[in-house]
């Protein structure tokens, strides 16, 4: 699985802590982490939580990433921004129980975490425990298990509703504020990681014109 990490500007200084916690857990499972930044608070490319949602949607809809780990101060803004986009099902994860239940019940493709609120002593251990509960084993099995079938049905219904309520990703990219889009894909590693992994030629072609 290709897992993308995205941090916004208010919590960019914690990128290395978050990146290391994520790698420590998921790389032994065979997953690969791509760190899209921000890498430091003074990065030239400044991401807001709204841009996190745009970037997450680009990565997931183009299949450049299979899963996105993002967040902000409370985790709520980035979650809302992600869920405003087509093809993104993002959960708010604060503790390992949240991570487990989101993985088993909702089986989405993104999580948002609070990196300011409650981020204190041994925070990196909570991060590792959350990632472990989310990524170990098979997701989408349901909890409690006897409700697995109805949970899977509801996930499918939600995906259908979102497909109707949202425009397709290429249309979104063309109609969204282009300055916002340019800022969302301005990170140092975006072009290196994205174009090597993107599986949607139309999205890739359009973003090349934006970057040009």
Query: Is residue 86 within 8 Å of 110, Cβ to Cβ?
Result: no
Q: Which CATH number fits domain 2-211: 3.40.1400.10, 3.40.50.11890, 1.10.3720.10, 1.10.1060.10?
A: 3.40.1400.10
CA dist 56 and 78 (Å) reads 10
Q: Quote the tokens at residue 41.
A: 């608070």
Q: What's the pLDDT score for residue 117?
A: 95
Identify the pLDDT of residue 144: 94
Where along the chain do its domains lie? 2-211
Taking only the tens of pLDDT, the chain with its 212 residues reads 999 999 999 999 999 999 999 999 999 999 999 999 999 999 999 999 999 999 999 999 999 999 999 999 999 999 999 999 999 999 999 999 999 999 999 999 999 999 999 999 999 999 999 999 999 999 999 999 999 999 999 999 999 999 999 999 999 999 999 999 999 999 999 999 999 999 999 999 999 999 99
Which residue matches tokens 């087509």?
A: 86
The confidence score (pLDDT) of residue 186 equals 97
Q: According to the model, what pLDDT value does residue 14 have?
A: 97
Write down the pTM of the prediction.
0.95
Preceding amide of 107 cis, omega within 30: no
User: pLDDT value at position 169?
Assistant: 97
């Amino acid at each position: 699985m290709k897992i993308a990490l995205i941090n916004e500007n208010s919590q960019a200084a914690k990128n290395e802590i978050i990146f290391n916690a994520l790698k420590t857990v998921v790389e032994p499972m065979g997953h690969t982490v791509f760190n899209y930044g921000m890498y430091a608070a003074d990065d030239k490319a400044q991401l807001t939580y709204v841009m996190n949602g745009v970037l997450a949607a680009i990565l997931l809809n183009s299949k450049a990433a299979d899963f996105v780990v993002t967040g902000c101060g409370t985790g709520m803004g980035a979650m809302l921004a992600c869920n405003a986009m087509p093809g993104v099902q993002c959960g708010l994860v604060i503790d390992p129980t949240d991570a487990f239940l989101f993985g088993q019940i909702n089986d989405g493709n993104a999580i948002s975490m609070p990196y300011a609120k409650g981020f204190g002593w041994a925070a990196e251990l909570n991060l590792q425990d959350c990632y472990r509960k989310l990524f170990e084993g098979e997701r989408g099995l349901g909890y409690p298990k006897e409700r697995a079938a109805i949970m899977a049905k509801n996930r499918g219904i939600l995906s259908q509703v979102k497909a109707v309520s949202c425009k397709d990703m290429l249309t979104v990219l063309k109609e969204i504020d282009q300055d916002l889009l340019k800022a969302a894909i301005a990170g140092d590693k975006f072009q290196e990681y994205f174009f090597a992994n993107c599986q949607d030629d139309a999205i890739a072609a359009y973003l090349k014109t934006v970057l040009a």
